[in-house]
A = this chain, B = another copy of it.
């Protein structure tokens, strides 16, 4: 348990040494992007293989073929790097959920509910298909302690869960869900099931076609909704 150094809350990633120089299409700009990309790519692989906490800065720069000083030019430390890896994905996910929530508020009747969940599923599938490495890391780390460099991952996990609860709550208000029932249970069941199936799929444990997996997911979620419906 290496004691974390005192850090000053700071701006976004990648970090600006003082201020980014003017020209944007220039060689500097390209080099910078390349350095950051190299670091991120190497880090993601290492994180997936050994876990965020176990990977050292030396491991990362060594694999990335970059000097240690360069790393600290772009990132304050591992936590900021992790945040940089997750930020874009997190944004897209939040966006998809927000859209879904709007849809949900206009939904009328059970069939509309199903349609709304369906289009959320499509959106999410697109996001994760484009970010398999990050997804894998997420599944691996999101239940760990909310400390150190894992913080951004756990924060995302909590955020998504919260939004999923909210979504179910809206569905209950606008749909036909019972109120004597803790709607979070069904939500948690869905999240757990989805994550477990995805993990198995990514690990190559399943020989099932992804369409079949999708079918199973739909079944789980619909069952979850149905259970919250007045004696369907």
User: Is A89 engaged at the interface, CB distance under 8 Å to the other chain?
Assistant: no
Looking at chain A, what size class is its interface with the partner chain? 35 or more
B185 lies within 8 A of A51 (CB): no
Q: Which residues of B contact A223 (CB under 8 A)?
A: 219-220, 223
User: Is A69 engaged at the interface, CB distance under 8 Å to the other chain?
Assistant: no
**Residues 189-206 (chain A) with a chain B CB within 8 angstroms:** 189-197, 199-200, 205-206
Interface of A (DSSP majority class):
helix
Nearest B residue to A222 via CB reads B223
Which single member of B144, B184, B190 contacts A144 (CB below 8 Å)?
B144
A54 lies within 8 A of B53 (CB): yes
Given the known inter-chain contacts A189-B196, A189-B197, please indicate yes or no for A145 contacting B49, CB distance below 8 A. Answer: yes
A51 lies within 8 A of B192 (CB): no
Which single member of B1, B48, B184, B190 contacts A55 (CB below 8 Å)?
B1
Q: Mark A205-232, 1 if CB is under 8 A from B, else 0.
A: 1111000110010011001000100000
Q: Mark A45-87, 1 if CB is under 8 A from B, else 0.
A: 0101111011110010000000000000000000000000000
